[in-house]
Structure 1
């Protein structure tokens, strides 16, 4: 049951990997040509293509000690929301959920912890094909408690991507292309707009034009997994603590 939940979480990180990549060049990436103006924002990346700006953002994100990512997306036909604080060395904490269920996540000290509400565990039991009796028994065991999954025992595909800055912003060598469009701002921060296609989806990446070129927002419209990511709280301290031992369920008790 936990593996399926982790895979759903992992799917949230996939979109952030696709646009934050620099491939090819484009001589038409002049902000004037795409509707922008000769402003301080335009001067921030003067002479650079959209792909080159995107690569600067990707590298800047990998150098962060911490950040916050918040947003929503639709995956496997379900609308999901998420809000995570991320630190280096695999530590993170946050929440994600559907319209009717939610769960908390913490990863620290080489272990991952998950605490879902009753509806969350019931949905997971239904998706896994568990009997109603087994599902209700699980809900009773986990009521108000955290499920612990040792990170070292987890398969690579089951780990939380939000807890690894390097994984989230790993360079993607697949061919892609982003074109610079009109300048804008995100919550008052001047930003450049980069757009590109990924299959049926139109992706938009907004990059800070002042200070470090951090990714501020990434959206995907159309396609199979539309959604939006907002990045903030760059390098603000993140402290993640393991849940109290008395509130953690021993995974050995769930075997069988």
Structure 2
């Protein structure tokens, strides 16, 4: 065995110390450190109990900010929503359009540009053509194009009886979104210690990640922080748990009420 001088041993110790510090900053444990030191302790629990505590924390929260991508029936939506029990506000994007939603109680508002309404009009026309078994969608009228221009960048009050109401409201319902997004499938196992932003977290996986991957906060209340949905159905981050925010109705001059149904264009 080759002996090392004291200076060499000190340099090696300093190098290992720097390496451990770097790994700790990156969220990786090792070098003899206790990964649960200074945490809320959920990392010591079984995967099932961690998942249960995360769900309970989410259910008991008054509000949350949800952002990321969600794939529904092969269509990808990008969400950035602030949600609470009695309302929500935020933006939803898809390949074809971008729109804002605002809900106060059961009153739902939709704001989009003229291009959104033009696309909406075309879908309505194509649906009507399909119902009539016609090979071509009817051409839009000048009135429809004018309506799209008038609706652009206005808050449109969505009638509760309209077919779009339930679908659009789903983007603003905190409980519906959380129940639908936070589900893991298959056998649950504890995954790696990680970080979501600056917050330390522990992962829980379903079927070794194929059934989803949930990151749960190791600081304070064990809130869900990131959900990677099974089957590549999107990744969402959850933040600002329990932080209050105000919701105000749009100014009357910026609002359009179309009665019992949305216009076709």
- Which residue in the other structure is 2:229 paired with? 220
- Which residue in the other structure is 1:146 paired with? 155
CA distance in 1 between counterparts of 2:65 and 2:45 reads 27
CA distance in 1 between counterparts of 2:257 and 2:40 reads 56
Aligned residues: 217
- Aligned with 1:79 (options 72, 76, 84): 76
Q: How do 1:161-240 residues align onto structure 2 when only pairs under 5 Å count?
A: 161-170=170-179, 176-197=186-207, 202-220=211-229, 222-223=231-232, 226-240=233-247
Residue 114 (structure 2) pairs with residue 118 (structure 1): yes
Secondary structure, aligned partner of 1:238: coil
Measured at CA, do residues 246 and 133 of structure 1 come closer, stay the same or move farther in structure 2, by a change above 3 Å? same
Residue 118 (structure 2) pairs with residue 108 (structure 1): no
CA distance in 1 between counterparts of 2:52 and 2:107 reads 32
Q: Larger C-alpha radius of gyration, 1 or 2?
A: 2
- Which residue in the other structure is 1:21 paired with? none
**Relative contact order higher in (CA < 8 Å, ≥ 6 apart):** 1
TM-score by length of 1: 0.71
Measured at CA, do residues 250 and 238 of structure 1 come closer, stay the same or move farther in structure 2, by a change above 3 Å? same
Measured at CA, do residues 175 and 98 of structure 1 come closer, stay the same or move farther in structure 2, by a change above 3 Å? closer
Deviant stretches of 4+, over 4 Å: 35-38, 153-157, 170-176, 253-256
- Give, in angstroms, the shift of residue 88 of structure 1: 2.1
- Give, in angstroms, the shift of residue 231 of structure 1: 0.5
Contact 2:118 2:145 (C-alpha < 8 Å) held by counterparts: yes
Deviation string, structure 1 residues 41-86 (Cα, Å, up to 9, x no partner):
6872255321221111111111112110011134444432110011
Contact 1:113 1:148 (C-alpha < 8 Å) held by counterparts: yes
Q: How do 1:233-252 residues align onto structure 2 when only pairs under 5 Å count?
A: 233-252=240-259
CA distance in 2 between counterparts of 1:173 and 1:206 reads 12
Contact 1:69 1:83 (C-alpha < 8 Å) held by counterparts: yes
Q: CA RMSD of the aligned region, Å?
A: 3.3
Structure 2 spans left out of the alignment, 5+ residues: 1-27, 127-137
CA distance in 1 between counterparts of 2:229 and 2:49 reads 20
Measured at CA, do residues 165 and 255 of structure 1 come closer, stay the same or move farther in structure 2, by a change above 3 Å? closer
Measured at CA, do residues 173 and 214 of structure 1 come closer, stay the same or move farther in structure 2, by a change above 3 Å? closer
- Which residue in the other structure is 1:18 paired with? none
TM-score by length of 2: 0.69
Deviation string, structure 1 residues 78-108 (Cα, Å, up to 9, x no partner):
432110011222x100001124521000001
Deviation string, structure 1 residues 217-250 (Cα, Å, up to 9, x no partner):
0012635xx2111001122221111111222222
Contact 1:71 1:228 (C-alpha < 8 Å) held by counterparts: yes
Measured at CA, do residues 181 and 86 of structure 1 come closer, stay the same or move farther in structure 2, by a change above 3 Å? same
CA distance in 2 between counterparts of 1:154 and 1:255 reads 10
